[in-house]
Amino acid sequence: MRKLIFALFVAAGLIGAALPDTALAEATRAQCSCDHEAKGDKQHGATVANASACFLTENENNHWCSFDVDALEGSSRQQEFLLVLRGQVGTGAAEDVILSRLTEYRTAPDVSERLKARGFDTASAVDRTQSILKDNNDLLNKCLGAFVDLDPGEFAKMAEGDGLACGVNAETGWLNLEFRFDGWKLLYLTEPPVG
């Protein structure tokens, strides 16, 4: 029995070593990945392969990032959220929809305690993101409009605001919503709505 188990481990290792490293080569920041070196050499960074939405917290000074999956691929939770968001873009309520998602995430006890240990003040982050959203309402609504319409247009490259950057990946359709404050980046990354 031990020989059989050992043989299975060896076979799995050989198969894994023989497979091309396409997952890392194809990962983009828009799909729940981070690479502080931004060299594209697959020697730095990390990616989450099975997420349809995630939160990413980065501290660039320490070359540190934390992923939290908001929704898994194939789950209805994210598409339901995107339908609500689609209905609110252009009405002035899209800011509230995004803020509710960020607040729900950042105030979760396990997230709050884990990030607090790294020096990230989650209570302050909720206030800061709310202020940033209000200050960048026009940019936010235009970017979210491009996202829900599945037409990146000018947002195929990140559009910069005051403490906010927003973009829609032209290849994947993923939204990249990036808040910047106090040496931190807080990103919300999500797949596009279906249809």
Mean pLDDT, 10 residues at a time, over the chain (195 residues)? 36 33 40 64 70 86 81 87 86 83 80 81 84 92 92 92 94 92 90 83
* Domain presence at residue 7: no
Res 9: pLDDT: 34
Element (H, E) at 11: helix 2-18
Predicted structure pTM score: 0.76
Please count the structural domains in the chain: 1
Sign of dihedral through CA atoms 42, 38, 82, 151? negative
* Domain presence at residue 195: no
* Domain presence at residue 53: yes
| DSSP-derived secondary structure for 125-188 | HHHHHHHHHHHTHHHHHHHHHHHHTT--GGGGSPEE-SSEEEEE-TTT--EEEEEEETTEEEEE
* Domain presence at residue 99: yes
- List the domain range (segments joined by +) for residue 175: 27-190
* Domain presence at residue 88: yes
* Domain presence at residue 87: yes
Sign of dihedral through CA atoms 185, 103, 168, 91? negative
